[in-house]
């Protein structure tokens, strides 16, 4: 949140800004505005090293580009880390005199305000916004962040879509009930802990069953072909491929549906499913599927396959899809919190996904791969980072 116009910014000397150039404390400049981006280092799509190399320096050229111009959402996001203004003349008598005059003027304004409102304004209150670097303006935002959001967002109506796509660096509380709130969160490691044993067991079961040589696929009433155990890797990869398509479709047509402005319930459902992730993209506890939703998707996928194919073949395809789901959740988490090596595949994928959050919310629906974005023409324009 930018500081209000009723208070003067905190002044910071050039030497002080230059000292903050480590992972533990990283400050940058945008013109004369100073930002503490320490908490953003790991999230930056260009990686920690790129931001650290510019610590203590003006990043205005990088914000404007080339290689790319940062979006309005990216600029709005940066304001959450604003801490003050650069004092280029710090230490000179002229600057000290100017600061003294400014302080005297502020005292006059403060006293005038006291006479009108009867309130006592302290220096600590005056600087609270800068010291706290609050992510959102609690008094001006469209929702009350001090209360659970689940039942508020439906009332936003036509303002919801614009609001939900203006990301903030702030944890979200959906429900007031502690048990309901806990049910919406999942630590990233529970995904492999729960599902990888299932993948290993069914992989072994399918491979050994196919190895018995009794499995045949009926093509017509009188024609069938044997399915050898060496077909299992192909069935596994087919399942993974099908999951990538399901992942794309869910992300595009369910998670990114635009709920009708007049429908309170659809807006609420959209926010619970995916909108809250776009509003707070770095809330780590909500970056993976909640257990209930994951079980529903996985179970439905299994039932459809077993009704379409012989059970053992359907299970073989299913286990590949389940492995694809695990990889999807892990990669998604890494794209938000990892710092991949510059030039690597994951580096490009992270930049691609962050652009989906900050600028191209109606494109770039692929998470683990951009494969399906090409045939459906939802590819984000290519920009180098």
User: Residues annotated as binding site for Zn(2+)?
Assistant: 251, 256, 274, 277-278, 332, 336, 353, 356-357
Structure tokens at 219: 């093509």
For the chain, the straight-line distance linking the first and the last C-alpha, in angstroms and rounded, comes to 26
Q: Yes or no: say if 266 and 153 are a contact pair by the CB < 8 Å rule.
A: no
Burial class (CB in 10 A: 0-12, 13-18, 19+), 5: exposed
Q: Which residue has the tokens 């290689």?
A: 67
Q: Of 288, 356, 299, which is closest to residue 326 (Cα–Cα)?
A: 288
Q: How far apart are CA 125 and CA 264, in angstroms?
A: 38
Which residue stretches of 118-175 are H helix? 123-126, 128-132, 160-164
Helix (H, G, I), strand (E, B) or coil at 217: strand
11-13 vs 21-22, strand pairing mode? unpaired
Residues that constitute the known binding site for heme: 44, 70
The 8-class DSSP code of residue 88 comes to: T
Q: Yes or no: say if 13 and 148 are a contact pair by the CB < 8 Å rule.
A: no
Residues that constitute the known binding site: 44, 70, 251, 256, 274, 277-278, 332, 336, 353, 356-357
Q: Yes or no: say if 289 and 175 are a contact pair by the CB < 8 Å rule.
A: no
């Amino acid at each position: 949140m930018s500081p209000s116009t009723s208070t003067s910014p905190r002044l910071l000397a050039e030497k002080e800004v230059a000292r903050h150039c480590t992972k533990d404390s990283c400050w940058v400049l945008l013109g004369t505005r100073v930002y503490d981006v320490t908490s953003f280092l790991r999230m930056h799509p260009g990686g920690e090293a790129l931001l650290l190399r510019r610590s203590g320096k003006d990043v205005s050229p990088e914000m404007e580009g080339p290689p790319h111009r940062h979006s309005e959402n990216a600029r709005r996001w940066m304001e959450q880390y604003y801490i003050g203004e650069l004092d280029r003349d710090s230490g000179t008598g002229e600057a000290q005199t100017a600061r003294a005059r400014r302080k005297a003027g502020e005292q006059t304004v403060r006293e005038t305000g006291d006479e009108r409102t009867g309130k006592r304004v302290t220096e600590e209150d005056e600087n609270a916004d800068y010291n706290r670097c609050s992510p959102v303006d609690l008094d001006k935002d469209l929702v009350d962040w001090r209360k659970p959001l689940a039942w508020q967002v439906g009332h936003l109506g036509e303002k919801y879509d614009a609001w939900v796509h203006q990301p903030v660096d702030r944890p979200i509380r959906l429900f007031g009930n502690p048990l309901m709130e806990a049910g919406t969160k999942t630590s990233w490691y529970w995904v492999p802990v729960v599902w990888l044993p299932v993948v290993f067991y069914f992989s072994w079961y399918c491979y050994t069953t196919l190895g018995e040589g009794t499995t045949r696929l009926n093509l017509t009433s009188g024609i069938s072909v044997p399915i050898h155990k060496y077909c299992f890797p192909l069935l596994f990869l087919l399942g993974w491929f099908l999951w990538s398509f399901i992942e794309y479709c869910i992300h595009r047509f369910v998670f990114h549906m635009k709920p009708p402005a007049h429908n309170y319930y659809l807006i609420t459902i959209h926010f619970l499913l995916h909108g809250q992730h776009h509003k707070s993209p770095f809330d780590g506890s909500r970056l993976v599927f909640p257990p209930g939703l994951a079980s529903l998707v996985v179970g439905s996928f299994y039932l459809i396959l077993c009704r379409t194919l012989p059970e053992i073949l359907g299970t073989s395809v299913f286990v590949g899809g389940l492995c694809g789901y695990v990889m999807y959740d892990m990669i998604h988490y890494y794209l938000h919190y990892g710092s991949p090596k510059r030039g690597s595949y994951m580096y490009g994928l992270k930049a691609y996904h962050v652009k989906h959050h900050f600028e191209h919310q109606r494109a770039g629906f692929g998470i683990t791969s951009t494969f399906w974005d090409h045939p459906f023409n939802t590819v984000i324009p290519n920009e180098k980072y």
